[in-house]
Amino acid sequence: MAGHLVCWRCGVPLAGITLPLRRREECPGCRAELHVCRMCRSWAPRVARQCRQDDAEEVRNKEQANFCDYFSPRPGAFDAEAAAAEQQARDRLSALFGTGPAPADDTAPSPADALFRSKPRQPD
């Protein structure tokens, strides 16, 4: 079964990982924690608490290692389309708020500066 497992974040095969997954097990590719809701068979983003297990305690951060007793690794947890859409959204936010790479010209305003700040006054 471990041969079919892939990292939920980057899609790297987890053939070398032994089961059961330890709580702090990490992906050898992207270092994402693996004992997380997004890697579980019970992960269901469209249901309450995003979990099919009614008796499971609520886990707030679905991408952080947890102690859930219902955890069972889900083969095929990586969704390339969703990952690409998520990265595109992060890139847009980064560009909007100026948290991306610094511009080549340090005096150039970031997109956020252009939107929210008025032009500096010229001295009289």
Contact status, residue 38 vs residue 54, Cβ threshold 8 Å: no
Q: Give the pLDDT means over successive 10-residue stretches in the chain (124 positions).
A: 77 90 94 96 92 94 95 88 83 82 55 62 62
Q: pLDDT at position 99, please?
A: 72
Contact call for residues 74 and 39 (beta carbons, < 8 A):
yes
What is the signed CA dihedral for 83, 88, 90, 96, rounded to 10 degrees?
A: -170
Phi, psi angle pair for 114, to nearest 5°: -65, -35
Measured between alpha carbons, how far is residue 70 from residues 56, 78, 89, 96 in Å?
7, 20, 31, 40
d(CA 33, CA 15): 16
Tokens of 122: 């010229």
Task: Express the helix, strand and coil content of the chain in percent, nearest 5 each.
Answer: 25, 5, 65
Report the predicted TM-score, pTM, of the whole model to 2 decimal places: 0.66
Question: What is residue 67's predicted lDDT score, i.e. its pLDDT?
Answer: 94
